[in-house]
Structure 1
């Protein structure tokens, strides 16, 4: 059974746990920030797919006060926590919160300068991955881009063991890292980098490049035709 992101215990412990689970979590966002600052104009409209508890939104809204954001998440508990967090900071005027997955994007009839899918698509079942990226692609302006960062397919036991060792070094206990390994097939749907490239291409992205890698975690940037 996949992780329940509507479970209050999962939601409340998410921000602390993810920093231990994901190597270089803050560095991911620093890289995303640098890319956005390089490629986007002073006025931009961003799509945040899977906004979680709002950490990413807060960081971006504070860094780019002139931008507007649309944040979607299929887990209502996550979305409500993010919205409450953003409201507490007084940043809600520039952010539109929408409950739902990427299938709602077409009905919204909005076009974005960029989309962020950070630590999201590895939770999307294989039968829906192609549509997931197609939904994102259709919501982007011409020459806009999508940034994704996900855990990719683990090819052998050595890669899995290395991932466990790194997770322990970043804060997980040995028991927690073993639980992570045991739940990979339940919580994640891990594509290979070649498969992900195919999803981007079939979704109308003309080119794709890597911007980050930590073991089996990869960051990719796809430019829409």
Structure 2
């Protein structure tokens, strides 16, 4: 999907997004716990870029854990950014947040960021060279050695292991425990057409080509994997 298609998709989903994915809270919370530990080495007055921030779940966690930090919340979807803004206002950390609707490349010039998050974003970039360019755009916004923490849907989709994992993964996200073969196939087709699910090694190579150090995988829950790396 291109940027306009993604914007339209997430504008439509913003209002019910948190409620729709509430059952995945244990995955999100374990990821945030590890994110906090990884980012603990950032400066006391760090500036953090949240790419594809959505409704702002990881931003809220970091804002509460590190009261001296400031944040740039970036998303293609204005509706998602508005939901993030409301979260920040309700949580009492709005004054520490800036908001930008658009791509990383469209951010105004500013002091480099100390760290960046990018959760389940680059998987929507189907072209590998464009995906590499995306990570380079983040690297350009970070200070030298700034940390990127990102997550992706990742698997070797042509393997038996992927087929074995796909059914419980779809069942977890479904509203009922019964998952029909048609539902599995619909999910598989969506992953084929709209999401670039790649093996871990391929994603790590793309990130490294995007001007980051060799990524270190620190997290996996089902099809979601997470890495951290540093800008060069």
Band the TM-score falls in, shorter-chain normalisation: 0.7 to 0.9
Contact 2:123-2:195 at 8 Å conserved across structures: yes
Query: Where does residue 110 of structure 1 map in the other structure?
Result: 111
Alpha carbons of structure 1 residues 161 and 23: separation in structure 2 relative to 1, 3 Å? farther
Alpha carbons of structure 1 residues 169 and 202: separation in structure 2 relative to 1, 3 Å? closer
For residues 56-67 of structure 1, what are the structure 2 equivalents within 5 Å? 56-67=58-69
For residues 185-224 of structure 1, what are the structure 2 equivalents within 5 Å? 185-224=192-231
For residues 12-51 of structure 1, what are the structure 2 equivalents within 5 Å? 12-20=15-23, 24-37=27-40, 39-51=41-53
Which residue among 6, 9, 15 is the counterpart of 2:11?
A: 6
- State the number of aligned residues: 221
Query: Where does residue 154 of structure 2 map in the other structure?
Result: 152
Post-superposition Cα deviations, 1:6-39, rounded to whole Å, max 9, x if no partner, equal 11xx2122113334468722211111111112x2
With the length of structure 2 as denominator, give the TM-score of the two structures: 0.84
Secondary structure, counterpart of 2:82 in structure 1: helix
Query: Where does residue 168 of structure 2 map in the other structure?
Result: 165
Alpha carbons of structure 1 residues 73 and 25: separation in structure 2 relative to 1, 3 Å? same
Partners in 2 of 1:156 and 1:182 — Cα distance?
Answer: 16
Partners in 2 of 1:89 and 1:169 — Cα distance?
Answer: 30
Partners in 2 of 1:86 and 1:50 — Cα distance?
Answer: 16
Alpha carbons of structure 1 residues 22 and 218: separation in structure 2 relative to 1, 3 Å? farther
Alpha carbons of structure 1 residues 11 and 44: separation in structure 2 relative to 1, 3 Å? same
Secondary structure, counterpart of 2:10 in structure 1: coil
Post-superposition Cα deviations, 1:123-161, rounded to whole Å, max 9, x if no partner, equal 223252111100001111111111111101423354144
With the length of structure 1 as denominator, give the TM-score of the two structures: 0.87
Post-superposition Cα deviations, 1:63-122, rounded to whole Å, max 9, x if no partner, equal 1111011110001111111112212333110010100112224x4233011110112111
Task: Name which of structure 1's ranges 68-77 and 115-124 shifts more when overlaid on structure 2.
Answer: 115-124
**Where does the alignment leave 5 or more consecutive residues of structure 1 unmatched?**
none
For residues 86-105 of structure 1, what are the structure 2 equivalents within 5 Å? 86-105=88-107
Contact 2:154-2:225 at 8 Å conserved across structures: yes
Query: Where does residue 124 of structure 2 map in the other structure?
Result: 123
